[in-house]
Amino acid sequence: MVRKQALVTLGLWSASALAQDATSNAATGTAEIAPGPIASVINSTGLVPANLVDLAAQYLAGEANKTQQAIIAALSQPGINPEKLTDPEHYYSYGQSPPVYPSPEGKGDGLWAHAYAHAKAMVAAMSNEEKNNITIPAKDNRQCAGFTGSVERMGFPGICLNDGPSGVRGPGNVSGFPAQISIGATWDRGLAYWRAYQMGKEFKAKGVNVALGPVVGPLGRIAKGGRNWEGFTNDPYLAGQLVDPAVRGLQQSVVACVKHFIGNEQETNRNPFLQGFLAPLGINLNNSVSSNIDDKTIHELYLFPFYDAVFAGVGSVMGSYQRVNNSYACQNSKILNGLLKTELGFQGFTLSDCPGIDLHNNTDARDAASAQIAFQAAVDGHVLVKNIDGALPLKKPKSMSIFGYDAIGGINTSVPDASLYAVSLEGTLKFTNGADFTFLQALISLASVAPAGTGIPEVAFNGTLKTGGGSGGITPTITFAPYDSLLRQAAVDGTTLHTDFTSQHPMVADATGPCLVLINAQSSESADRTTLADEWSDTLVNNVADQCSNTIVIIHNAGIRLVDRWIDHTNVTAVIFAHLPGQASGEALAEILYGRQSPSGRLPYTVAHNESDYGALLNPTLPTAQDPQYSQSNFSEGIYIDYRHFLKNEILPRYAFGYGLTYTTLGYSNLSMSLAPGMSHSLSPPDASATTPPPEGGLASLYDILATATITVENTGPVAAAEVAQLYVNIPNSGVEKQLRGFDKKWIQQGQSMSYSFPLRRRDLSIWDVEKQQWMLQSGRYEIMVGKSVSDILLTDSFSLA
């Protein structure tokens, strides 16, 4: 319940109940913020234990006063003009996005025709009061995350919207599917579809009408972004290729709601903080951060996967909390009317973001197919990045040691509701490894304003990490922890197990065989990460490796996790990024470790050597003394995020985008390129001058296949495996050396060959022309590169357009 407590408390800070008392700060004459009114607000929610209300209120009042004094100090600096700082025009509080009005009316054609006709007839028969009732939030006994009002006389029960992108968020009788970061690591369009298909069935069984997912924003611009795990990948093409089947799968049963539109690339200051506390000074403190994105960048990166979602027929789009070019996203006519509804031809409905609440419905929504898809998606989301001398797969070892807090089962809920940040299995104020924990640490960990040095853990110490935190978290009915599955396999093989799940300095038995070390890297909505590698876990790995010559590290990670503190240790023989596998965590891991399936996952992001390698893309933007009210996050890197950043700046990563190993060897050959006959290869889209509104997904010609590349992949190794072949393009005048524009994944038996095909659409081969306001092919030579990752190119070819 910590998540609810924090959201309700923080959400009510700006309410009038948080009145300032009569005490004044002698230096400024500004009223201090007293804990009394805060305690009243917290107590009124009924969600915080009574014995903790005063403690929480005192802490929050203290932090509020610190922030207030910091802003006052900023306004008092020599050379600072307070009147200028509080001038809305100075901070463009009325927005820099150009106005686009009126809002385009939906066409209601094609597959939308029946729905539009039915909706128009219903609305025409409603009174104004009834119309208002269904356009504002309402309460219902199911406690959906969002619910519209109903019109009982017309048989309209209202619309139930519920989290989230990894399955139904609610207590009991639901499956826990792998998070989208795991699906991104599968590089598998089919799994993206079937996972979403099964999720949709469970949403429908629970009475949900709109599933709040999938996620393609954030795209992962900031390496420490708190919600990066909710998306598929840091690459716009891969995100688009996976969101299309995800939308189609969900919408076999419910309406999909793709989110967050657009530029929601950090959690820090995504919402106003302590707004109104400086009312005596005549200012509003700290509006949401503004994502300032140029036209080319917004099209080629952040809007790119939304094209594919709308093309797939997505029924709804959720706006983001923060400002975009200094206008709030949900009030921004340029991005809503201009980009989404006009350029992309979106026909559905938009909604704003909101805090989520668990759904209450005891229907058992699970079936055997859900379990199988959840399992296979978890297996394919494992990425093997190191395997020295065939350390994996395991071969019925006589003895084996298992270390690390991540191996065991934990609280069966999503972080931070009960929380993996927070309490141990018995609900005590200790982590299972003995580390101290306080309630307030969990509370402030959810606020994007948590001060540095508060000791918020970056790991889930109380059990295996199957999900990230916040509204995207999952609450499966059952979870198979790694130790449970490994214990079952050990019983079959006659393996003696030695375990220590709590110590940072475990003793390794003299006769031990392989040593498995399971660690994790947690992340949550509402806060960005403070580090990409925690010292506690890194020390654990090194301590085990110092004693064990065959140390195998498994990481359950909610985003990028750095490994340079131990990856080159001579005794670290194998490493797996297991991501967030959901309920099948242990079963999927055992499947890979024992070689029942060869690992086939590939990294959907870049792993650096050091945090500094990410440069300005490491940390979120914070309010400054110069911008205390209207903080500005300038996307000045343009289109160069993730691997594009590394290529442009000639930085060698530890593990490149697209990298991953298997248990076999594969050879690539016979790259062939062909231009599609009979298709227009004019530089401008042939339908660019059409006077009718574009279909869903933008101009139809953007999806025309203009060229196709094919290759042959042969399995020359000892076992069958799935191989992900990747195609990168150097588009003339793009300024990007390589950008992903194709991939194919196929299962290849030992000794067999398979043909791979990479169709290239007009949009895949175009760049956004800011003057023509159009996707344009380029005159010149297109370089085609096929390989196993962005840095492991095996075949090249080219073609030219005039």
Residues with catalytic roles: 353
Please check whether residue 249 is in contact with residue 193, taking contact to mean a CB–CB distance below 8 angstroms.
yes
- Half-sphere exposure (Cβ direction) of 382: Cα atoms closer than 13 Å: 30
Euclidean distance between CA atoms 243 and 239, whole angstroms: 6
Euclidean distance between CA atoms 733 and 735, whole angstroms: 6
Euclidean distance between CA atoms 569 and 784, whole angstroms: 37
Phi, psi (rounded to 5 degrees) for 135: -110, 5
Euclidean distance between CA atoms 659 and 662, whole angstroms: 10
Residue 157, burial from CB neighbour count under 10 angstroms (0-12, 13-18, 19+): middle
The β-bridge partners of 740 are 728
Compute how many other C-beta atoms are within 10 angstroms of the C-beta atom of residue 125: 11
- Is-cis flag, bond preceding 164, omega within 30? yes
Coil/strand/helix, residue 205: helix
Q: How many residues are given for the chain?
A: 802
Euclidean distance between CA atoms 116 and 113, whole angstroms: 5
Angle of helix 35-45 relative to helix 2-12, nearest 10 degrees, comes to: 130
Helices (H), 134-261: 180-186, 189-205, 236-250
Q: Dig out the tokens for 229 from the structure.
A: 């795990």
Q: Dig out the tokens for 709 from the structure.
A: 């590349």
- Half-sphere exposure (Cβ direction) of 216: Cα atoms closer than 13 Å: 30
Q: What angle do CA 615, 273, 48 make, to 5 degrees?
A: 115
Euclidean distance between CA atoms 459 and 695, whole angstroms: 45
Please check whether residue 222 is in contact with residue 560, taking contact to mean a CB–CB distance below 8 angstroms.
no
Phi, psi (rounded to 5 degrees) for 154: -105, 5
Please check whether residue 463 is in contact with residue 409, taking contact to mean a CB–CB distance below 8 angstroms.
yes
Euclidean distance between CA atoms 520 and 558, whole angstroms: 8
Euclidean distance between CA atoms 281 and 14, whole angstroms: 16
Q: Shortest CA distance to 162 belongs to which of 244, 44, 263, 250? A: 250
For residue 763, give the DSSP letter: G
Specify the DSSP element, H or E, that contains 65: helix 50-75
For residue 156, give the DSSP letter: B
Q: Dig out the tokens for 77 from the structure.
A: 């600096």
Please check whether residue 404 is in contact with residue 518, taking contact to mean a CB–CB distance below 8 angstroms.
yes
Euclidean distance between CA atoms 680 and 58, whole angstroms: 68
Please check whether residue 2 is in contact with residue 446, taking contact to mean a CB–CB distance below 8 angstroms.
yes
Please check whether residue 727 is in contact with residue 764, taking contact to mean a CB–CB distance below 8 angstroms.
no
Residue type, 205: A
- Is-cis flag, bond preceding 393, omega within 30? yes
Compute how many other C-beta atoms are within 10 angstroms of the C-beta atom of residue 673: 15
Q: Shortest CA distance to 402 belongs to which of 518, 557, 494? A: 518
